[in-house]
Amino acid sequence: MIVESVSGEEFRHYLADHIFRPAGMRRTSSEAPCGRAIRYYRDNVDDPLNTGAPWVSAEAFYGKLLKGPAVGPGGEYSTIDDLLRFAEALESGKLLDRKSFEMLVQQGLAASAILNKAT
């Protein structure tokens, strides 16, 4: 992995030391948090109009679709609050200098990076 080769650090440690901590992302890590939200869907495949169908966990569906848990590219779990902190840290210059951030925005990569962290 490029980050590990260049930095000499394991990827998850690099993220924690250079992105999560500086951005104040206290609830983002590679470990699944206790009490994390579980996705659900209505079990109404045979009758989509049946809004009274029971709710069932969608974890198995996403596990098959994604071939593993639905987490960030490095295996991170995060929260909405931490994703907001990430966006604020990007915009304020805590993570990147202004010129680099503007270049990412111009190329449309900043929005992509934020969206990728949400998964």
What pLDDT is stored for residue 70 in this prediction?
56
**To 5 degrees, how large is the angle CA 89–CA 81–CA 36?**
135
Rounded Cα distance, 30 and 97, in Å: 26
pLDDT of residue 21: 95
Hey, which of 35-39, 94-98, 111-115 has the most confident mean pLDDT?
Answer: 94-98
In the DSSP assignment, the letter for residue 19 is I
CB count in 10 Å sphere of residue 76 = 21
Tens-place pLDDT, residues 38-55: 777 788 767 767 788 888
Average pLDDT in the chain? 79
3-class DSSP state of 26: coil
